[in-house]
Copies of this chain bind each other. A is one copy, B any other.
Amino acid sequence: MSEWYQKPIEGVLLDITGVLKDGGPTGTISIEGSVEAVKRLKACAGLQVRFCTNETTITRKQLLAELTGFGFDVQESEIFSPIPAVCQILQNRGLRPHLLVANACMPDFADVDQTNPNCVVIADAESNFSYENLNKAFQLLMSLEKPVLFSLGKGKYYKHGTELVLDAGPFMKGLEYACDITAEVVGKPDKAFFNAVMQDMGLSPDQCVMVGDDIVGDVGGAQGAGMRGVQVRTGKYRSKDDSHPTVQADGRVDNLAQAVDYILTNRT
């Protein structure tokens, strides 16, 4: 099998947390070499770059400010995240959500009618995942004739500071089990999410590669949409991922800088 970077690449999808930035002992830091790596990618004629994140603990504007603060060359229009996607779905289907999300991302739902809710939206709610709040979401779902649960991503865990902490996925699984339902996932690894990004670039899956630290959400999700999926050994990467029972990465790199080295080498 030829290496992942030896087939033409016209579009690069980058995960944000664990690839561009990471948790450090005293707060978020940019991952060494990644600011420069994004610059090199964007300077390459004919190569398109998009940022694909399941980040829901801050608003889109805060995320953009954080990234540009680190020196990343990122435009708001290049960031794809699940909140705008779910807001569109809610509007299309006439649904009014009960939100179980982080306080900090609430402004991104400001335009959504939340009165008399007829569905539940969960995201990485952090400490809002209390027993009381989970019961409220559960009780609402049980009261609906056709319970609808949206989960913004279904990640198992992520690195917060220096610790691994639970992501939205485990709570989605708990509510699915409690209510005998299947959640609708919005964001990675859902195929529709990756398709929207490719559509925005006007590219087909065989022209694209996704670079991320999550073996299931990033790598498996990208592969499910027909793209190549490359895993970085930063962020939440664990050596166990190399022998994951269902997902085999198309490639593994130490970090984003090395991924970009490979991509650009092949274009010269």
Which residues of A are at the interface with B, using a C-beta cutoff of 8 A?
125-132, 134-135, 138-139, 142, 156-157, 163-167, 169-171, 173-180, 245
Contacts and interface: CB of A to CB of B under 8 A. Distances in A.
A175 B170 contact: yes
B135 A163 contact: yes
A164 B137 CA distance: 11
- Closest 7 pairs (CB-CB, A-B): A170-B174, A174-B174, A173-B177, A129-B131, A170-B178, A156-B178, A127-B131
Contacts of A169: 177-178
Contact of A138 (B164, B173, B177, B180): B164
A174 B171 CA distance: 6
A180 B244 CA distance: 10
A166 B135 contact: yes
Contacts of A135: 163, 165-166
19 contacts: A125-B131, A126-B131, A127-B131, A127-B132, A134-B166, A135-B166, A138-B157, A138-B164, A138-B165, A138-B170, A142-B157, A142-B164, A156-B178, A156-B179, A157-B178, A170-B173, A170-B177, A173-B176, A173-B177
A167 B173 CA distance: 14
Given A174-B170, A177-B156, A134 B139 contact: no
Nearest to A238: B142
A217 to B, nearest CB: 13
Given A128-B131, A169-B178, 9 more contacts: A135-B165, A135-B166, A142-B164, A156-B178, A166-B178, A170-B173, A170-B175, A170-B178, A173-B174
A245 B157 CA distance: 31
A126 B130 CA distance: 10
Contacts of A177: 156, 169-170, 173
A132 to B, nearest CB: 7
Nearest to A155: B178
A132 B166 CA distance: 10
B163 A139 contact: yes
Nearest to A177: B173
A118 to B, nearest CB: 18
A137 to B, nearest CB: 10
